[in-house]
Amino acid sequence: MMENRQKMVKRAVKEIRDGMNVNLGIGIPTLVANEIPADYNVLLQSENGLLGIGPYPVEGAEDPDLINAGKETVTAVPGSSYFDSAESFAMIRGGHIDLAILGGMEVSEEGDLANWMIPGKMIKGMGGAMDLVNGAKRIIVIMEHVNKHGESKVKSACTLPLTGKQVVHRLITDLAVFDFHSGRMELVELQEGISIEEVKKKTEASFSISQNLLTAH
């Protein structure tokens, strides 16, 4: 599982461009912070009030007051800034976040996203996901292709409560990369060692295949 997660994280990093303001969702997306090229001028924003998140701290150097939205200890880069939730969400709702990389529980073939709750399980709240999918300029979702029961998380229609409808621009899983165009899903890239047949077998959603289909290296 860790190998699959690292594969998705490394692929997600390729979506980041120098000069971007980026929000990383809780879970797997937070690992992206450790992989951003050192020569990139990228500001990572957390909706709990930090602009300028750095990599995870080394053991023994943790600051319990310095955390991301997932309540994990982080570092801050030179020039970082701190602010309250009102200012944080004004950044998001005002369209100042270039890219949001979020986790997902389900993504539909139309680009709908469900990532904030499972009915019957205790949750602390929806966090900033609903604002991010509407306020960020581009939404990338990274998640495992199937759940622990072997069932596809890439659905014809989401069965879990939605975070947003037709909000996903690109989906990165441990098997493949998909793009969404006007409610239609397209396979654009295969992860290394994965065949189209395997993707079809493990995907409930209907999708087309790009004429320029790539294979990750």
CA distances from 189 to 118, 126, 172, 178 (A): 29, 31, 9, 7
**For range 113-133, the mean pLDDT:** 84
**For range 148-172, the mean pLDDT:** 97
**For range 177-187, the mean pLDDT:** 96
pLDDT score of 217: 65
pLDDT score of 216: 78
- Residue in 15, 35, 47, 72 annotated catalytic: 47
Percent of all residues in the chain with a pLDDT value above 90, rounded to a whole number: 78
- What does the pLDDT look like over 21-59, one tens digit per residue? 999 998 899 999 989 998 999 999 988 899 999 989 999
Q: What is the pTM of this model?
A: 0.94
CA-angle at 213, arms to 210 and 217, nearest 5°: 155
pLDDT score of 119: 77
Specify whether 47 is catalytic.
Answer: yes
pLDDT score of 10: 95
Rounded Cα–Cα distance for residues 163 and 96 (Å) = 20
Q: Which residues contact 159 (CB under 8 A, 6 or more apart)?
A: 106, 114
**For range 132-160, the mean pLDDT:** 97
**For range 81-106, the mean pLDDT:** 95
pLDDT score of 126: 72
CB 170 within 8 A of CB 155: no
pLDDT score of 121: 77
**For range 130-144, the mean pLDDT:** 96
With cut-offs at 50, 70 and 90, classify the pLDDT of residue 171: very high
Ordered structural domains, the chain, with CATH: 2-215 (3.40.1080.10)
- Write down the mean pLDDT value for the chain: 93
Dihedral sign, Cα of residue 184, residue 142, residue 83, residue 165:
positive
**For range 135-142, the mean pLDDT:** 97
Residue 166 falls in which region: left (phi positive, over 0), alpha (psi -120 to 50) or beta = left
